[in-house]
């Protein structure tokens, strides 16, 4: 069951930037005020993430370079989490988990990250909060905050693996361009 988003306009998915697009390397700027535009962007980001389908999306991935993240690691897609201006205030433990990314579709690699985190952020209502996370949620929070800092999960891989993935993504982009030219 998906959470219905209560807004007055139709929510449409946004285009997702694909690696190796250099715009994914931009550092996101802080959000000064959670206003209607920010809430609308959050709604569009959730729709984009759910449609992809994915479990996390940073505004940087949809070419909006603001410090906004949406996450939902629940099986049913009914636990949306909005992190505005997130910052890790604690990171402990170390573990490996396979990660994927909506900006690098079809690629999954094992990445080493902290197993427990505490994040400080602002929610979609403009209220500050802190929360502790572990497991998949902790990994997802770290992954999405990396996006806001212009870092991708492939940066944790060897240069050989990163080059292989880059070539694969560039080939897919060329094939899509060729297909678009034929239609």
CA distance linking residue 144 with residue 88, whole number of Å = 11
The active-site residue, picked from 144, 170, 175, 176, is: 144
For residue 143, give the H/E element and its range: helix 135-148
What is the CB-side half-sphere exposure of residue 90 using CA atoms within 13 A? 10
- Separation of alpha carbons 5 and 42, rounded Å: 10
Exposed e or buried b per residue across 88-126, where buried means at least 16 C-beta atoms within 10 angstroms of its C-beta: eeebeeeeeeebebbbbeebebebebbbebbbebbebee
Is 144 one of the catalytic residues? yes
User: Contact 39/92 with Cβ under 8 angstroms?
Assistant: no
Can you state the percent helix, strand and coil of the chain, rounding each to 5? 35, 30, 35
Give the H or E element holding residue 86. strand 81-92
Residues with catalytic function: 144
């Amino acid at each position: 069951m998906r959470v219905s988003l209560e807004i007055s306009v139709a929510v449409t998915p946004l285009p997702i930037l694909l690696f190796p697009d250099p715009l994914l390397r931009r550092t996101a700027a802080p959000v000064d005020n959670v206003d209607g535009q920010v809430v609308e962007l959050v709604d569009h980001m959730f729709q984009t993430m759910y449609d992809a389908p994915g479990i996390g999306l940073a505004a940087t991935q949809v070419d909006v370079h603001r410090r906004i993240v949406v996450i939902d690691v629940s099986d049913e897609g009914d636990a949306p989490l909005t992190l505005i201006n997130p910052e890790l205030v604690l990171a402990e433990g170390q573990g490996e988990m396979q990660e994927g990314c909506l900006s690098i579709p079809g690629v999954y690699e094992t990445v080493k990250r902290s197993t427990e985190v505490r994040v400080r952020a602002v929610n979609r209502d403009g209220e500050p909060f802190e929360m502790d996370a572990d497991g998949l949620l902790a990994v997802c929070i770290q992954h999405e905050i990396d996006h806001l800092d212009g870092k991708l999960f492939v940066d944790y891989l060897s240069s050989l693996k990163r080059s292989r993935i880059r070539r694969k993504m560039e080939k897919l982009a060329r094939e899509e361009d060729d297909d678009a030219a034929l239609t």
